[in-house]
Each structure stands twice: as C-alpha cells, then as structure tokens.
Amino acid sequence: MNILNKPFDTQFQTAPFSKINNDNFFPAFKIAIEKAKKEIEVITNNSEKPSFENTIEALDFSGEELDRISSIFFNLNSAETNDEIQKIAQEVSPLLSEFSNDITLNENLFKRIKTVYNDRNSLNLSTEQQTLLDKKYKSFSRNGANLPEDKKQKLREIDKELSKLKLKFGENVLAETNKFEMLLTNEEDLSGLPEGAKEAAQQLAESKGKEGWLITLDYPSYIPFMTYSDNRELRKKLAIASGAKAFNNDALDNQENVLKITKLRYQRANLLGYKTHAHFVLEERMAKTPKKVDSFLNELLEKAKPAALKEFKELEAFAKELDHIDQLQKWDASYYAEKLKQKLFNLDDEKLKPYFKLENVIQGVFNISEKLYGLHFEEISTIDKYHEDVLTYLVTNNIGDLVSIFYADFFPRPGKRNGAWMTSYKPQYLKNGENSRPHISIVCNFTKPTKSKPSLLTFNEVTTLFHEFGHALHGMLANTTYPSLSGTSVFWDFVELPSQVLENWCYEKEALELFATHYETGEVIPMDLIEKIKASSTFHEGMQTLRQISFGLLDMSWHSGDSPETITNVKEHEKEAFENTLLYPDVAENCMSTSFSHIFQGGYSSGYYSYKWAEVLDADAFELFKEKGIFNKEVATKFKNNVLSQGGTEDPMVLYKRFRGQEPKPEALLKRAGLIENK
C-alpha cells in the first residue's frame, strides 16, 4: 500500500520523508481524492435533516488525508524541488482544482449547507461554530455555487488553467534564479566584499568544480555583493540580471503568464458577480474594499514621500561627494546607503554579524518565546526530515505537554526558492476529545557556514528569522476546534501581525542581551552597538516605506483596474503603476511583475498592502508591550489568548480590540518610522 495513503507510523505522526519517493505522489493523490469524494458523498447523501454536525463540521474534517499529502508535496515543491516534482505538480494541480470545484459546485451539498445557514439563528452555535458556518457558506457562494450550470463549467476551466499558470510562473522564476552565475577570476573584482562573502563565493565555485569566486542571484550571494562591491559595472550586471528574471523573451519568460493570470482572475471575479479580482478578494479581508486599500496606501504615500525624497537627495549628494556619481542608479542603492549608514552611525553589518551566530539567534528566539509564552524547545534527532540541513524540534509547554513539532530549514540550495516563509505539515484541531497538535516549519535562505566561520547573520537576516518565527508561533499556539480556522488561517491582512510584532524584540536591549553574544569571545553585544541599532532603525525609512507602497500599488493596478483585457504590455503597465513612487531611473531591461511571486504564485494577489496594514497593527500592539515591559506576562498572555491561539475563529478586529482595548492607531507606525514627530 502507498505509504502516503495510510496513517503515518512515526513518532508524533510526522511525515516519513525518507521513505517517500516521488513515484508515490501522483497515485497517492488519486487515491486520496477518491477517498475525499466518498466522504463528501456520505455527507451529501445523508438522509437525516442537515445539521451543523452532520454537514458543516463533517465537511471541515473531511479530506484530511488529501490535505496532508498536499501539504507535504507542495512544501517540497517550494523547499526541495526537482524536475520530477515540478512535472507532478503540473499534472496534479488541475486534478486538485477540479476536485475543489466538484465540492463547491455540488448543488445537493450546497443545499444542505444553505439549510443550516438559513437556520443559523435557532441553532445556539458557539462563536467559532458561527464563524465556521459563515465561512463554509461563503466559500461555496463566493466560488460559484449559485451559478447556472454553463457558468459553473466556465469557472472550472478558469480554475484549472490558473492552477497551471501559477505553477509555471514559479518554475520560471526558480529556473532563472538558478541559471544565472557570475564567475569572477580576478580578486580585484571582489574589492569591498567582506571576507565572509568572499569565502562563501569561493566555496560556491568549488562546489561546482570551478576556480574563482561565484556570485549568484540567491540572496546570501546577491545581497552582500550589491551592498559592498566597489565594482559598479559588476553591481550593474548583477542588478540587471536579478531585475530581468523571467523578462528575457525566451522559454522562461513570464510576460504572457502575467497577462493570462490577471485576465483569468478578472473573468473569474466577473463570473461570480464582482467588479474586479480585488473586489472579490478584499470582501474577505479587514480592508474590505479596493477603495479602502487605495486610500490607505495613498495616505501613507503622502506621509512617506517627502521623507523619501529628502533621503534620496541626501544619498545623491553623498554619492556625488564620495565618488562623483552624477546619476544614482538602482545598482547604487544598497552600496551607498550602506556607506552613508556607516558614516552616520558608525555601524555596518560586518561589525554586527559576529554577534549574530545563527545558532545563538535561534536560541534567542526560543528564550524569548519561553519568557513570553512558556514554550520549551528541544532539538530531536528521531524526526524524519526531507534534507539533512533541516533541524527538528519538540515544542512543549511548562507542564511538559506537546505543543508542536517544529522544522527549521535555513540555507539556500538549487531546489529551494528564494526568500523566507512559514508553512505547516499538519494543522491543529480538536477531535474526539483530543487536541491534535500542529507540525510547523520555517524556511529561510541565510548565509551558510564556511570552512572558517559559522553562519553569521546580517541584522536584516536576524529580523527575517524573528518574522518567520512570529508566524510559526501563530501556528504552534493554535487552539481551535476546526482545522480550517486554526493557526494562520486568518484574513491575509491580519496574518502578518504575529510575524511583524515579534521583529520588535530585535531592537530591544533586554532581548538582545539574551542571544547577541560574540561567536568567538562570548562577549554580550556592547551597549553602544545596541544604541546604534536603535538609532539606525529608522534610517531611510521613508524610502523603504515608498518601496513597499509601490509594490502594493503595482499589485492593485493588476487586480483592481477596470479591465486587464486592455493591458498588452507588462512593462508599460508597470511603469505607469510606479509613476508616483519612482526615485531611481527606470531600467529598460528590468520588470518586477515577471518575478513578483507573492502576487502571481503565492496568495498575496490584491493583498500585498497587508504588510503595511499589519505594520500599523504591530506598531500599535508593541506600544502596549513597551508601556508594560517587553516581557510582561500579563500582556503576553493577553496576546496569546486573544490573537495567537484564536486563529480565524472571530473577526480579526474583534480579536485585536479584545487584546488592545481599542482599534489600532496609524500614528504608532508613523512615529516608529520617524515619519511624524514622537511627542
């Protein structure tokens, strides 16, 4: 019997990665889809009157095996993929899309759900049950259950096509990232690079049987080169290669995919009775409407733009004074910003990195979680993993109960997409009196250890680790009844609150002293460096904010305009969307949309604004911690009980106000960012 189609005979029922072969996946998906269909049939054909238990609850617990296989497979497709897995993904995605449509377009099943929904006021449901009923009803009505048959068929075709296009988009970006290599054989070309970056580049070249120093588009290779390399021409070459990902009019080009995805999303929304894809998406977000998102982004733009222009002029003057640069280009941004930062604060990442050994930062985030939420992390070697780099932990509470299994995967490799993310292999839920605990994972791309140095993180990588770990806590501390409401199953503009709020601890002396110790001497990070980290935290905040706003506006331009049918040129459309946020001259060879995976492959379409939206929430939330003490147990418990453990069981604003006692105030963010005076 296929190992994926039976309960996992492992400790804690974790995924038996080493025993799973790629050949297992496709047949396992087919079997699991058939099993899930039978479960749906049982619910649909139940002769008893539709009730919350026999319809809504039964539906939420159905398809567990299929969900488990999907999470294993698609997580591998992101973190440890290969040609074979990508091929299976292309074959299986339409089947899953078809199955999903089979459920939401099942008339008899929807009739049962509608009956329960219409009786909802007399059913005496708990808040969580009401939320589940509402979400189940909407998941059907918002996905075509009320459509006539011909339109249902059209919807199926669109969904099938979209699932393939999104996969193809991601595959092209990964292939482009892996394809580019810049081999340097003259040591002078490495001028300005820190020793650690040079050593890593040399080791990378060695690992590929080449002599010299190899620079790639993977972040741990790309970022140090763009930040420190004195060779402007090489920075230009690297920046253009990065910005031209999937924009080269070749087999890996994504322009056609972008146009097709946006048009299909628009058609889908129209079919369902919505004006645009953004109207469809935002109905189920805190922001509610495209108008609200636009006014939110433009309000921030109004506050950030003057600061950004001022910072940019200062940077221009600095580059001119230092190197007689007449026109700053995108490939100059990180280089001169780093130099200016060093001049203003006498602080650079190379001075900080020795205090941020990866293992110490991991231990630090564990210690902070223990102080705040009473969690204990124990590395465990008996849990199977999909790659030798992955670390596995047992997470328990103060009385030794299992809270979660935790996987951490920190280093880049060819089968892994760039960036950082949190995911899960199994959700938390309550069934038959047992609280089944989640299996949570974070995936990052940090600098690997070299022969002479351990993995030393830049401060930006430290905040990235804390960010993803904040998401992980949201998953680990889940305590809901139903799997579809558990952990990070919340509105997308709320999901970034737990991740972004945890980043705040990286700037606090009390927290830094727990883990920021010199990897050679054990010396705790000096107070003056902590002061400099804090002082520099708002450095170029105007430009950073403008950058984030520009991504949000680009996303909305693709998804909230009158008709994407009229867009024929991806680059021209993008230039128009960026018009109000431009600082640097446009680079003709570059296009962001063709590799904007967040919105064209991930789940952020019409949702990129949520990073900024959640920053308002996190700045406001952290103000309470600052007021009462960053390790104040009472505040931490309130945050855990009202936000982290609640998942999507209630409207997020209700949960937030229960924690904070009020709606969030944007002023907290603007003050923290230095965009308005902190009175």
Scanning the structure block, which residue is given the tokens 């290669």?
241
Catalytic residue list: 468
* Nearest residue to 442 (alpha-carbon basis) of 424, 416, 463, 415: 424
The torsion of the CA quartet 190, 193, 194, 196, rounded to 10 degrees, works out to: -60
The CB density around residue 162, as the number of other CB atoms within 10 Å, is: 18
Q: What is the dihedral of CA 6, 9, 10, 12, to 10 degrees?
A: 70
> Residues 435, 483: contact at Cβ < 8 Å?
no
Q: How far apart are CA 310 and CA 308, in angstroms?
A: 5
DSSP characters over 275-336: SSHHHHHHTTSSS-SHHHHHHHHHHHHHHHHHHHHHHHHHHHHHHHHHH--SS--GGGHHHH
How far the first Cα of the chain sits from its last, in Å, is: 67
CA distance readout (Å), 520 to 142, 339, 353, 356, 529: 57, 26, 12, 11, 17
Which runs of consecutive H residues, i.e. helices, occur in 187-289?
195-207, 219-228, 232-243, 255-271, 277-282
Distance in angstroms (rounded) separating the CA atoms of residues 662 and 617: 11
Q: How far is CA 130 from the centre of its chain?
A: 28
Pair 414, 420: CB distance under 8 Å: no
| DSSP code, position 357 | B
